[in-house]
Structure 1
Amino acid sequence: MLNIPETTELIQKIRTRKEIKQLASHVLSKTMLEKLGDGAKIVEFKSVILNYADKNENANLRLKRELYREIKIPSYQVRDLLEINKGFFKKLVDNQILVSSYQKKWTYGMVKYFSYTNILRCIHSSEFKELKKNYDANHEKNVKRAAKANKTKLEKGVHMLESFDFRIRKIEPDLIYRKMILTKLNHDKLVEEEYPEKYYYISSPSYEGLDSAPEEDRNRWVDNYIRHHLTNYDKISDYLGQIVFKQYMYDNLLSDWVTKQIRTVYPFYKRNTYVSQYCKH
């Protein structure tokens, strides 16, 4: 079933007085329009329209018809709505089964926009139903094939990660905090020197400022310090980047594997508990 937003959500996409007055002229009676007057606010128009449509079935049908015709969504939202891929979407557009209302130029190219009216007309057409039937059958096979391929890639990725000599330098947990603060302070001072405009409206970095930062931030800094300064994670990550490892869905795999390794030495890693456990203020 097509998951089209409710009228209460669609009407919020109308932002101008011209649009809301045009919508009101199709939904409200002449008496109601006169009572509202030209000086009514947009929010007042919307409230009256929704209340009237809620009580009057014919008004509700008129409201839906006008909103479906006037509200347009970009192509990527249409694909999500129809649950189809780019190839099938292109076939629908090229064969005029799905017709766009207009197209708009963005920085990454031209984007087509479609009204809900045209989307509904498309899905109720015999051409769409036949194509969608074949698409669903092939799509299910492709999903299974992709899942099998991904499983194979994951197994290869796990095997590759386990072949690395992942090293973790162990120091007392209560000593990590001061080392982390000093390391971050040096880093922030270098950034301030290189990009002074970044600190134009804020104070220069200081030990006291970092030490009084929100607990969540300090926990994250400790995690970053452990990963980048107490392990050989960066060397492994750089190597994997060179062999196009990260292009294959392995980002989460690498992160999970590193987390598991680090927690054998520092159990608090990425658990947001370090500051409360080791910092006494």
Structure 2
Amino acid sequence: MCLTLPSLELLLNRIRKAELQNLAELLLTQRMFETFSSKSKMVDYRAAIMKRAGNNKLVRAKLKRYLYSHVTTTATDTRNLLGVNVRFFNKIQNLGLICATYAEKNPFGSGEVKYFTYADIVKCYENAVFKAEKAHYDATHAKNQQRAKKAAETKFAQTKAIIDNLDIRVQKVKSAKLFKNALDSKLKFETEKYYERMPERMDWELPTLQDLQNAPVADQNRWVDNYIRHQLTNYDDIDIEGLVGVHQMYAADLRAKMTAKIRQVYPFYRMDTYVQNYLER
């Protein structure tokens, strides 16, 4: 694992204005300050410092040391940088491998918010005890991940087997009656929804049967499909919610299985062809 810290430019942006001028006096040359004083506009110390650090390795090293020892980050960011969980992080704190620079009351809850300098993070990361403990942690973590992966694969296989063995039943209704039944079902659904949502607060009117009969063909085909799936099959009675992987398998397995089974009885299902080919206008 490689310790990836924020860039010096990002860290410099987190330095307070009061500190920024002191840092500029530490890193910039007298000539640069004389140049600044000859200009009437506000001095961009950050840009000047980064330019100076980019042209001089010693200045860059000084800037790095300063930022690492002055800029702090939260415990969460520190854990992420070190690649450890809360339990392991508490352990290395108890071992004295890393200590918070300061803590303040959590404004959004109970307890304290601890802050750590990047210098302390680097020091901890390079500590031999940390490296040994981290190696053991990584090995254990890898084993746990492998076990979790195998367990998930087993659960996935079990879910797929359940879906493959589902008994999907489809009730047959004459094609000519489907349209009327589908519109009646749609109208009932809209009526229930209308009164559940308190019509006095709504800006739309309850549709009539005639409205549904004059609706676009694409909508009518969808209503027929919905009627078949929800009223003429046991789709709504299938209880597989909560099974591992069920949402990933829904489109590829369950929905495909349901569609294939329904099309054995209603070939036009999900084909957007019922109204055009089966309905006498």
Residues 192/163 of structure 1: CA separation in 2 closer, same or farther (3 Å cut) = same
Aligned length: 232
Deviation readout 1:195-227 (Å, 9 max, x if unpaired) = 97xx9xxxx679xxxxxxxxxxxxxxxx9xx89
CA distance in structure 1 between the partners assigned to 2:148 and 2:191 by the alignment: 46
Identify the residue that residue 53 of structure 2 maps to in structure 1: 53
CA distance in structure 2 between the partners assigned to 1:147 and 1:129 by the alignment: 26
Question: After the TM superposition, which residues 33-182 of structure 1 pair with which residues of structure 2 at under 5 Å, given as runs?
Answer: 33=33, 35-36=35-36, 41=42, 44-104=44-104, 105-107=106-108, 109-110=110-111, 111-164=113-166
Residues 31/86 of structure 1: CA separation in 2 closer, same or farther (3 Å cut) = same
Which runs of no fewer than 5 residues in structure 1 stay unpaired? 207-222, 269-281
Report the Cα offset of residue 186 of structure 1: 8.9
CA distance in structure 2 between the partners assigned to 1:229 and 1:18 by the alignment: 71
Residues 121/235 of structure 1: CA separation in 2 closer, same or farther (3 Å cut) = farther
SS at match of 1:47: helix
Residues 158/127 of structure 1: CA separation in 2 closer, same or farther (3 Å cut) = same
Contact 1:21 1:45 (C-alpha < 8 Å) held by counterparts:
yes
Report the Cα offset of residue 27 of structure 1: 2.5
Contact 2:168 2:235 (C-alpha < 8 Å) held by counterparts:
yes
Contact 2:159 2:245 (C-alpha < 8 Å) held by counterparts:
no
Q: Percent identity?
A: 24
CA distance in structure 1 between the partners assigned to 2:116 and 2:66 by the alignment: 14
Residues 49/133 of structure 1: CA separation in 2 closer, same or farther (3 Å cut) = same
SS at match of 1:114: strand
CA distance in structure 2 between the partners assigned to 1:227 and 1:20 by the alignment: 65
TM-score, normalised to structure 2, is 0.61
Question: After the TM superposition, which residues 2-41 of structure 1 pair with which residues of structure 2 at under 5 Å, given as runs?
Answer: 2-14=3-15, 16-33=16-33, 35-36=35-36, 41=42
Q: Output the amino acid matched with 1:147.
A: K
Query: Radius of gyration: which is bigger?
Result: 2
Higher relative contact order (CA 8 A, sep 6+): 2
Report the Cα offset of residue 240 of structure 1: 4.5
Identify the residue that residue 218 of structure 1 maps to in structure 2: none
TM-score, normalised to structure 1, is 0.61
CA distance in structure 2 between the partners assigned to 1:115 and 1:85 by the alignment: 19
Residues 240/36 of structure 1: CA separation in 2 closer, same or farther (3 Å cut) = farther
Residues 141/56 of structure 1: CA separation in 2 closer, same or farther (3 Å cut) = same
SS at match of 1:73: strand
SS at match of 2:84: coil
SS at match of 1:13: coil
Report the Cα offset of residue 21 of structure 1: 2.2
CA distance in structure 2 between the partners assigned to 1:195 and 1:62 by the alignment: 70
CA distance in structure 2 between the partners assigned to 1:33 and 1:152 by the alignment: 68
Residues 155/126 of structure 1: CA separation in 2 closer, same or farther (3 Å cut) = same
Q: Output the amino acid matched with 1:72.
A: T
Computed over aligned residues only, the root mean square deviation of the Cα atoms, in angstroms, reads: 4.6
Residues 257/94 of structure 1: CA separation in 2 closer, same or farther (3 Å cut) = farther
Which runs of no fewer than 5 residues in structure 2 stay unpaired? 206-221, 261-268, 273-281
